[in-house]
Amino acid sequence: MLKKFFIYILFTLFSFTVLAQRASIKGIVADTLEKKVLENSSVLLLRSADSILVRTVRADKEGRFEWSNLAKGDYKLLISYPKMADYVRNLRLSENTVLDLGRINMELKSKLLNEVVIAATKNAVRMRGDTLVFQADSFAVRTNANVQELLKRLPGINVDKNGTIKAQGKEVKTVLVDGDEFFGDDPLLATKYLKANAVDEVQVYDRKSKTAELTGIDDGIKNKTINIKLKENARNGYLSTLDANAGSSNFQDYGGMMGIFKNKLKTAIFGTYSTLDNESKINNSMRKLKGEEYDQIEVGDDGSSIMYSSGGDDDDDYYSSTGGLPSNLNLGAHFSDKFYSNKMGLKLNFKVFDNKNTNIKTSNSQELLPDGKRFFSQGKTDDRSKVTGENIRGTYNYHIDSLSTLKISFGLKKNRNYTESGTINGSSSETGQIISQNNQSNIGNGFSDTFNGNINWSRRFKKKGRALSIDIQPENLNNKGLERSLNHTEYYDNNGNWNRSEDINLIKNNSGTQNSIGTRISYAETLTKRWSLEAGYTFKTISSSSNRLVQNYTTGIKTKIDSLSNDFKFINFSNIGKMIFQYKAKNFSISSGLEATITTFELKDLDLGSNFQRKYLNLSPRTNLYYKLSNNTSLAVNYNGFTQQPSIEQIQPVRQINNPLFQVIGNPLLRPSFTNNFGVSYNSFLMNSDQYISGYLNYGFTNNAIANSENVDEFNKRISSFVNLDGNNSLSGNVYYSKGFSKLHFRMGLDMSFYRSNNIAIINAVKNRTANTQYNVKGSFNYYTSKVDVSYSPSATIMYGKSSIGGINDGKSITHNHEFSGTVQLPYRTEFNSTVSVSLRPANASFGQDLNVVIWNSYLAMKMGKGEALELKLTVTDILNQKIGYNRFVGGNVISENTFSYIPRYVLFGVSWNLSGNFTKTVVNP
């Protein structure tokens, strides 16, 4: 029923776009001089009033094009072809117009007068191949506006208050400047600091994955990308910024950056310091500075599962706490340049960081056991942590010739950490009698060193679709840690009388190393016009060691605890073969293939002199189907399966203890699990109505899932292990709809989703099946002009959990949130913003009290000086002082609530200085 409902909604929304559209246009594009048709000519239909792109199509092999179901109105027809002058014609359509343009003859540019050619190239919007091009000077923005403000004026592009950019309904994660990264590819940096009057064109397109670009085999991975083409006199410049914010309760947020860009040379230094959880704007902008990403050959802890993963959005030293009071310092530098006629390139990034966090957490929970007994647990933890380190990352590129490229990437990192915590945990029975209590304190410190790299040689051959790529990846890891753990545990009988106590004083000395080398060979070949093949072989070997020395220091004399200590050495050899076939037609492609992994794994216990060996065969099939319904509408269906091997911790028959009441021991008899995932997705962006519709449905299930098995005694002491079970599965779906009304300056959106999971575990030898279901709905409404920006975002979530062994209450919870935000441009270049976030959590059967919170934040900013380079800003957060650090959860046989440290109400006064410009003055055209 739910599936039918989502399909109905999707069909209904899509149907709105075709009502009352009956007009049609057709024609043939030809060459005047040679009297031949022009196949693949780009044909665009623009709305005359605002140059919004309505339809686009490529002429077929006979030069024909045709559109139907067009709404009445005034349009502009634009046809372009290489070396030909653009053809432009104004059209007026009624509801039933059937317009046959006949043979449209294109003229060579060389045959036309220069002024005609110039006029033809000044259209506000055009299609160049698969790239949508906006002529920047055709869109009016205020003086000294940045690129963000320019993007807000472009049809089909949306920029929210946080600087997140969406183009044609999809989030833009990469912004390039003149085809290259601009101090990294973070959209915020280029769009915030570059001026709009320096831009010649804005180009929007789908960037293929690195593998697809090399092999030509479409893997379905596309990244919506914007390329900002600068005017010739704006390609050499500088940018600098300084943020200084200080306020009540000693809260501070400082950041500074200075950079220079000259042709291909880019260099910058930056630094940030903040005691707030909202990051410094500088740190947010410079966080993604890194060497070029490469597909890493990763192997699981046991060496049995290999995968390829590209680097994430953030650098690997990025630190983000989920709670507490932070104090973060970051310093860094960036250098990149191309030389030797742009055949060689070098990129280097260096960072130093010092991050601290203090967090006081509490927890309260109830759990129902299979025999009907219920335990109540309470706890409090005081955490203090510090992480410091340095890293350097770099990439060297050499284009050997027009077909071959050599790329060398590397990274070096050194981290040091210190942790200190004190914890009190206790458990009680349903009658309120205390049954156990533990006091624990931990102090630890350690370090880790990492080196990784990749050497890649790739070559495209003269035959289209033939490519070869070879990677070599070395890696070295070293870590060492020392921890002191003091535990005092007391046990009580059923009447609450003291039974016994236990004291444990542990010193844990852990160290480990890992050395690996991996190689990968990929080859692509076009078999026929429509069929292509990708084949590959990967090999990786890992040699690592883990030494855990746990000593008892209760008596004041260090004594090794054999049952908790171990000295292991791991050796594995993994070999992978991959073969994928792809069939590709004009609007349809399907690829299907298989990866087979053979791994030999050996675990040596150097203390006992025993060996544990395994040999695995992992099969990972995959199929991807992609159908392009139109230029802006697509349907995709995919399937993939993968084998997951147990981790070292899960199979090591060694007891791990940090608290006597919570212990873990591995199971050497675990078998690998196999997961099947199925998915279907639909995306449609209708440019004529600025409307985006998307939907997806995913289902997955796992055989031999690695599940938790737990034994709980009368003192709520838990010993966990792992077993293989069947029954884990999940189902999720989503429908998203967004529509803009450019004439009304209004945009709305609706996002509906659901998620259902079934998981199985064992508690006291009884299988427990838990089912969790969640429904979400979120709306967004935004009105914007050059003076006012107002938005409202309501959302609601319903969660339901149940357990086969019984439940606590009905397992239901409801939350709904409402956010109101408004920004007004006042006289004297002043801006005022106010945001109210209302969170409502009504009482339920598990928690008998409403939890309603209203967070009101506001700021007043004034821009001053030439180019509005100086900004004064007064910020007040949580004006009503209602913020709390609190979460609660309602499941099947478990309910819990947690608190954590948070940043309370504060007032912040800030000064921001932004200066950017060009080394050459702008020439104004008459």
List Cβ neighbours of 115 (8 Å cut-off, separation of 6 or more): none
The predicted structure's pLDDT at residue 425: 92
Segment of 231-245, 253-267, 414-428 carrying the highest mean pLDDT: 414-428
The burial class, CB within 10 Å (0-12 / 13-18 / 19+), for 19 is: exposed
H runs (alpha helix) in 557-678: 648-651
β-strand pairing of 174-177 with 222-230: parallel
Query: pLDDT for 20-39, tens place per residue?
Result: 446 889 999 988 766 688 88
Query: pLDDT for 201-212, tens place per residue?
Result: 888 887 776 666
Residue 46: how many CB atoms within 10 A of its CB?
27
pLDDT at 447 over 90: yes
> What percent of the chain clears pLDDT 90, i.e. is strictly above it?
29
Mean pLDDT of 614-634: 83
Segment of 42-56, 499-513, 553-567, 739-753 carrying the highest mean pLDDT: 499-513
Segment of 628-642, 700-714, 738-752 carrying the highest mean pLDDT: 700-714
Across 164-168, 177-181, 312-316, 438-442, least confident range? 312-316
Q: How far is CA 438 from CA 251, 523, 559, 714, in A?
A: 35, 59, 23, 15
- Please give the model's pTM, rounded to 2 decimal places: 0.76
List Cβ neighbours of 297 (8 Å cut-off, separation of 6 or more): 306, 308, 471, 473, 518, 520, 538, 540
Per-domain boundaries in the chain: 2-234
- Under the banding of pLDDT at 50, 70 and 90, the label for residue 283 is low
Residue 566: how many CB atoms within 10 A of its CB?
18
Mean pLDDT of 842-869: 87
- Under the banding of pLDDT at 50, 70 and 90, the label for residue 51 is low
Q: What is the 3-state secondary structure (H, E, C) of 63-129?
A: CEEEEEEECCEEEEEEEECCCECCEEEEEEECCCCEEEEEEEEECEHHHCCHHHHHHHCCCCEEEEC
Query: pLDDT for 140-189, tens place per residue?
Result: 776 677 788 788 777 767 776 666 777 766 778 788 887 777 666 566 66
For residues 84 and 112, is the Cβ–Cβ distance under 8 A?
no
- Round to whole Å and give the CA distance between 603 and 631: 54
pLDDT at 624 over 70: yes
- Under the banding of pLDDT at 50, 70 and 90, the label for residue 388 is very high
The predicted structure's pLDDT at residue 220: 57
Of the chain, the end-to-end C-alpha distance in Å amounts to 65
For residues 892 and 770, is the Cβ–Cβ distance under 8 A?
yes
pLDDT at 293 over 70: no
Q: Which helix (H) or strand (E) holds 154?
A: none
- Round to whole Å and give the CA distance between 564 and 561: 6
- Round to whole Å and give the CA distance between 574 and 564: 30
pLDDT at 753 over 90: yes
678 bridge partner residues: 639, 699
What's the CATH number of domain 2-234, 2.60.120.10, 2.60.40.10, 3.30.70.260, 3.90.1150.10?
A: 2.60.40.10
Across 113-122, 195-204, 251-260, 564-573, least confident range? 113-122
pLDDT at 419 over 90: yes
- Round to whole Å and give the CA distance between 383 and 358: 6
- Round to whole Å and give the CA distance between 147 and 151: 6
**Torsion sign over Cα 290, 165, 308, 416:** positive
- Round to whole Å and give the CA distance between 369 and 764: 8
Tokens found for residue 655: 């007891």
pLDDT at 743 over 50: yes
- Round to whole Å and give the CA distance between 533 and 575: 20
Quick check: helix, strand or coil at residue 1? coil
> What percent of the chain clears pLDDT 70, i.e. is strictly above it?
85
Query: Which has more confidence, 726 or 21?
Result: 726
List Cβ neighbours of 133 (8 Å cut-off, separation of 6 or more): 125, 126, 127, 201, 202, 203, 204
The predicted structure's pLDDT at residue 16: 40
Query: Which has more confidence, 224 or 767?
Result: 767
Backbone angles phi, psi at 197, to 5 degrees: -75, -5
The predicted structure's pLDDT at residue 189: 64
**Sheet with 170-172: strands ordered across:** 157-159, 165-167, 170-172
Short-list 418, 426, 421, CA closest to 376: 426
Mean pLDDT of 322-336: 86
Tokens found for residue 765: 């030898």
For residues 663 and 656, is the Cβ–Cβ distance under 8 A?
yes
Mean pLDDT for the chain?
Answer: 82
Across 45-49, 203-207, 316-320, 420-424, least confident range? 316-320
The predicted structure's pLDDT at residue 611: 79
Mean pLDDT of 65-88: 83
Query: Which has more confidence, 208 or 515?
Result: 515
pLDDT at 652 over 80: no
pLDDT at 789 over 80: yes
Across 6-15, 218-227, 603-612, 627-636, least confident range? 6-15
The predicted structure's pLDDT at residue 749: 87
Tokens found for residue 472: 């070599």
| Alpha-carbon dihedral 714, 720, 722, 725, rounded to 10 degrees | 40
- Under the banding of pLDDT at 50, 70 and 90, the label for residue 700 is very high
Mean pLDDT of 518-544: 90
Q: How far is CA 370 from CA 434, 716, 769, 807, 808, in A?
A: 21, 14, 12, 10, 12
**Torsion sign over Cα 626, 629, 632, 635:** negative
Query: Which has more confidence, 781 or 283?
Result: 781
The predicted structure's pLDDT at residue 824: 92
The predicted structure's pLDDT at residue 17: 41
What does the buried/exposed string (b/e) look like for 719-751 if buried means 16 or more CB atoms within 10 Å of the residue's CB? Answer: bebbbbbeebbbbbbbbbbbbbebeeeebebbb
- Under the banding of pLDDT at 50, 70 and 90, the label for residue 773 is very high
pLDDT at 406 over 90: yes
